[in-house]
Structure 1
Amino acid sequence: MLFRGFTTVRDAGGCDWGLAKAVDEGTLIGPRILFSGHALSQTGGHGDMRERGDEALVSCGCCHGTNVTLGRVCDGVPEVRKAARDELRKGASQIKIMASGGVASPTDRLSNLQFSIEETKALVEEASNAGTYVCAHAYTAQAIRRALECGVRSIEHGNLIDAETLDLLIAKDAFLVPTLVTYDRIRAEGVEAGMPAALVDKVADILERGVEALALADGKGAQICFGSDLLGTMHKHQSAEFAIRSRVQTPEAILRSATATFAELTGLQGKVGCIAEGAYADLVVVAKEKSPLDDITVLCNPESILMVVKDGRIELDRRRKQ
């Protein structure tokens, strides 16, 4: 990711303190990571990956019986509070929740509402108490609206959002994080990656609805951040999100979503997404004749990036090859 020009990333489920720490201390080369730990899910929700015939959650002693996939199942106000506090104890930068059904989960429908209002408000309160926020996986307008009314700050995906709900998102000073490339790559590589064919067939319409939602949000002036939601072997396609968004957004708007608006969402204003005194000195250098302000798809090709600087240190320098 770092060599693709991403110097700071937010992980919305699965990454943990160990990986982020390894990058911070220089053991691994990569972007600084704002991780969520386990994404929190209700029983039978998008983070509950049990098939219908399964009973026990996947667990092990070292994880104290919690789900060791990217999701953590919790139900009821006391249990969701404890789960949020535990993820925060382990260093989570924000809390991720599953507020609606999803594409990849085996037993829920996309239209499902997940977590009660009381549970969601409790999760928002716990995040706020720790000086952070909740981001929510949500597809439908109904799920998004309920999450926003409970105080959720960031909506992940949002493919089925409508104009009225976008107005609420803007009024709440919340953020939309489309993740269009994941549907494009699932459609192309999902079966090969082991996903059921029926699941792969679902995503074509979801992708197009997501592009329409992005156009609507952009036209209304919503706060939009860059996202990808790629798993496993699909990570390499992260930068293809730039090209998909270029169908409905200007290069400047797309760059802003990956820089200044991201900084606003994560509370890193003046540190990332800018060139200013006191900032982290993160820079991505491209060839003069390949400005992304003229053609954003330049960033889809990592070879177009000549140099990456993180914390004032040159991490990648392709100029030496030229």
Structure 2
Amino acid sequence: MPSGKFRGVTTANLPYSCFCNKALAQYANRRIGADLARRGFLADMAAAMLVTVVPEFALAQGNASPPASSPVTTFTNFRLFDGKSASLVDGMYLIVEGKRISKLERGQPPASSSARTVDCAGKVIMPGLIDMHWHSLLAAVPIQTILQADMSFLFLAAGAEAQRTLLRGFTTVRDAGGPAFALKQAIDTGLISGPRIYPSGAMITTTGGHGDFRLLTDIPRTTGQISAVERTGGSAIADTADEVRLRVREQFMQGATQIKLVGCGGVSTPRSPLDMLTFTEPQLRAAVETAADWGTYVLVHAYTPEAVQRSLAAGVQCIEHGHLIDDRTAEAMAKNGTWLSTQPFLTEEDVAPLPPSGREKFMEVTAGTDNTYKLARKHGLKVAFGTDLIFSQALATRQGTMIGHLTRWYSGSQALRMATSTNGELLAMSGKRNPYPARLGVLEPGAWADLLVVDGDPLQNIALLADPDRNLKMIMKDGLIYKDAMQS
């Protein structure tokens, strides 16, 4: 792009005009190597969305990317939920320097040249929320559109939804399947605003498994043939151990932080009953071993005891969903130290409209939700929180509502710990592939400066998070303020 100005922003300063930075060089390489739709995504989005989605501070500097050093911000007169404690703490002050928290101590802050002091007037400061099962490109668009629209439209819609996700207080998401790599790059370089993303890349499945959305005219499949659905990067089909290794390595080549495999049928895939099994144990193990070679882990979509037990035997460290597990399976998960990353689905309000076959499967899943959480508590499982809200912009707004569902089984502080520090522990399992190595989900010195200022006590009234427009007075991520309804 030639140098010039676009709505007051100097195009010579845009993130993709110079590739001296390693992250930007990776971004450029990915852009060059991607298909036409992906190549067009960032350029289109820069023109269409730049002014509305970039933090005000960045635009004030005449640069679309965050500044090299963020201003120092001091918070005073607040009640603290640090992501770990069972109750609020008073009498603290917190200082943010750059992208991290530098001090969190009792008493009054020392005299300094802080660029800004925020008097919270007794409001609650807490860590930014984390959603461990989010689909960045699927969250706000109906499935019919996803299967038919140009990928450029889906990326633009995902960029807009990323901003809304951040403004709901979710500063980090783990993307559980989809081509979110370019979106992550756009957020990380400051081109658009949104939560930090831990991408899984294409969810890897088998012929006929959940995520195989091919038309019947696309079969029989020829070895090495890639379907139109696979070319979008949403899913990848593998029917042998060697194909599994190939598909896993392809996701890591694109920047995956962990790998998503499908272990059984799914609600939204029309030809995959929940009770079907996909990969054999050796095939699952091939993925686990390959992920370990890359220093990270595998998560497996699995509802049934059979699918979970097969995954455990293969060494899988994180089970997604698990709504139909039994006591024996939960006991085995506890013995192995396996994570349960599940979603508190309660009613049809927690899902986009489904055809009759999908609705029947979803009702079977929701019928198992209560038992799953009770088994998790009984056996002391490590439980992560996610929402898996897809195919509806209206449904996506229920992220905070879903946290409230957890109070059927947990106290308010336990639910909030799950959505902050506990989820942060699971994110850290990405190990050598972790692009954000400081602590997430906690407020402590050295942690990422991701925080919310809440008007009210969310430990006592977790429903406050269901109305972020009204109750979240400030949203900070990486030390930058993305929403400010406070007065200095």
Same fold (TM over 0.5): yes
Name segments (4+ residues, structure 1) moved above 4 Å: 51-54, 61-65
Give secondary structure in 1 for the equivalent of 2:323. strand
CA distance change for structure 1 residues 69 and 240 in 2, over 3 Å: closer, same or farther? farther
Q: Which runs of 5+ in 2 are unaligned?
A: 1-164, 429-435
> What 5-or-longer segments of structure 1 have no aligned partner?
none
- Report the Cα distance in structure 2 between the residues aligned to 1:62 and 1:305, rounded to whole angstroms: 45
Distance in 1 separating the partners of 2:335 and 2:465: 32
Identify the residue that residue 246 of structure 1 maps to in structure 2: 407
1:310 aligns with 2:477: yes
- The answer to whether the 8 Å contact 1:215/1:249 transfers is no
Contact 1:181/1:240, CA 8 A, preserved across alignment:
no
When residues 109 and 297 of structure 1 are mapped into structure 2, their CA distance, relative to the original with a 3 A threshold, is same
2:270–2:357 Cα contact (<8 Å) kept: no
- Post-superposition offset of 1:161: 1.1
- 1:297 is displaced (CA, Å) by 1.8
Query: AA paired with 1:295?
Result: N
Q: Secondary structure at the match of 2:170?
A: coil
Number of the residue aligned with 2:50: none
Q: Normalising to structure 2: TM-score of the pair?
A: 0.60
Question: For residue 42 of structure 1, what is the amino acid of its counterpart?
Answer: T
Distance 1:103-1:226 versus aligned 2 partners, 3 A rule: same
Q: Contact conserved, 2:305 with 2:329, CA < 8 A, in 1? A: yes
* Distance 1:24-1:173 versus aligned 2 partners, 3 A rule: same
1:258-314 per-residue CA deviation (whole Å, 9 max, x = no partner) reads: 111111111178511111221111111101xx2111122221111211111111121
Aligned pairs for 1:59-78 within 5 A: 66-68=230-232, 70-78=234-242
- Note closer, same or farther for the CA distance 1:177–1:87 as it changes in structure 2 (3 Å cut): same
- Counterpart Cα distance in 1 of 2:265 and 2:347: 15
Q: Distance in 2 between matches of 1:47 and 1:180?
A: 22
Contact 1:182 1:229 in 2 (8 A): no
Asked if the contact 1:271/1:278 (under 8 Å) is kept, the reply is yes
Of 259, 263, 272, the residue aligned with 2:424 is 263
How far did 1:170 drift?
1.7
CA distance in 2, matches of 1:62, 1:24: 30
Q: Render the CA deviation track for 1:50-100: whole Å, top value 9, x for unaligned.
A: 24454278xxx9999944262111110111101000000000010000011
In 1, Cα distance between equivalents of 2:333 and 2:228: 37
The one-letter code sitting in structure 2 at the alignment partner of 1:225 is A
Give me the whole-angstrom Cα distance separating, in 2, the residues matched to 1:314 and 1:255. Answer: 22
Q: 1:275 maps to what in 2?
A: 443
| DSSP-derived class of the 2:408 partner | coil
Matches of 1:133 and 1:102 in 2, distance apart?
22
Q: Distance in 1 between matches of 2:229 and 2:179?
A: 18
Query: 1:154-190, CA deviations, whole angstroms, 9 ceiling, x for partnerless residues?
Result: 1111101112211221222221111234963465x41
The answer as to whether partners of 1:16 and 1:92 remain within 8 angstroms in 2 is no
Distance of 1:21 and 1:183 partners within structure 2: 35
Equivalent position SS for 2:422: helix
Between the aligned partners of 1:139 and 1:119, the Cα distance in structure 2 is: 18
Q: How far apart in 1 are the matches of 2:231 and 2:410?
A: 39
Aligned length: 310
Instruction: Quickly say closer, same or farther: Cα 1:62–1:151, change in 2 above 3 A.
Output: closer
Q: Which amino acid aligns with 1:23?
A: I
Amino acid at match of 2:424: A
| Alignment match, 1:200 | 359
1:301 to 463, 467, 471: 467
* Letter in structure 2 aligned against 1:309: M
Task: Please say which of residues 256-265 and 65-74 is displaced more in the overlay.
Answer: 65-74
- Aligned-partner SS, 2:292: helix
Whole-Å Cα distance in 1 between the matches of residues 229 and 277 of structure 2? Answer: 26
Moved more, 84-93 or 63-72: 63-72
Shift of 1:208: 2.7
| Root-mean-square deviation (Å) | 2.3
Distance of 2:182 and 2:437 partners within structure 1: 25
SS in 2 for 1:275: coil
Q: Is contact 2:345-2:369 (8 Å) kept?
A: no
Aligned to 2:457: 291
- Secondary structure class of the residue paired with 2:377: helix
- Cα offset for 1:4? 1.1
Amino acid at match of 1:116: T
Q: Name the aligned partner's letter for residue 139 of structure 1.
A: Y
Deviation, 1:136, is 0.6
Counterparts of 1:1-322 in structure 2 under 5 Å? Answer: 1-52=165-216, 54-55=218-219, 66-68=230-232, 70-181=234-345, 184-185=348-349, 189-190=352-353, 195-233=354-392, 234-267=395-428, 271-287=439-455, 290-302=456-468, 303-319=470-486
